[in-house]
Amino acid sequence: MPSLSIEGLFESAVKIFLFEDNAITLTFSKDGIHIRFPTTRRLAEYLEVPHYYILPYFAMMEEQELVTRAERVGILTTNKGSSKLVCVMQELHPEESKALLGDQVFQEIVRITRK
């Protein structure tokens, strides 16, 4: 189980996308690619910790401009957060990421988020 840290939450989000949901929600805008992050409750359940343990880390992630909350949409990564999340996908689970997104789409997302 990943540690309770910002890095651990990003790793857990990737594992939820790839191994539990088999889905990832991307939003394309003129500003870049944004990825819908799992809810705080979903992450707490996955990590088997009380929900309130997760909340301070999300506050830190917002402060570091890694995620933003969008009303009625959920928590979305910023460009900086998308880059971090895609980096985790590429470094820790490249084959699973390619299997979910397709090689060409995944490589294009990597290219765009590295700018």
pLDDT score of 70 more than 70: yes
How many domains is the chain partitioned into structurally? 1
Q: Is 1 part of any domain?
A: no
In the structure encoding, which two tokens stand for residue 29, read together? 């805008």
d(CA 16, CA 88): 13
Coil/strand/helix, residue 30? coil
pLDDT at 3: 63
Q: How many CB atoms lie within 10 A of CB 49?
A: 13
- Contact between residue 12 and residue 49 where contact means Cβ atoms under 8 Å apart: no
CATH number assigned to the domain comprising residue 28? 1.10.10.10
- Contact between residue 25 and residue 63 where contact means Cβ atoms under 8 Å apart: no
Q: Per residue in 27-68, pLDDT tens? A: 998 988 999 999 999 999 999 999 999 999 999 999 999 999
Domain that holds residue 34: 6-113
Q: Which of 49, 73, 43 is nearest to 61 (CA)?
A: 43
pTM of the model: 0.92
Q: Is 101 part of any domain?
A: yes
- The per-residue pLDDT of the chain, averaged, comes to 93
CA 29 distance to own-chain centroid: 17
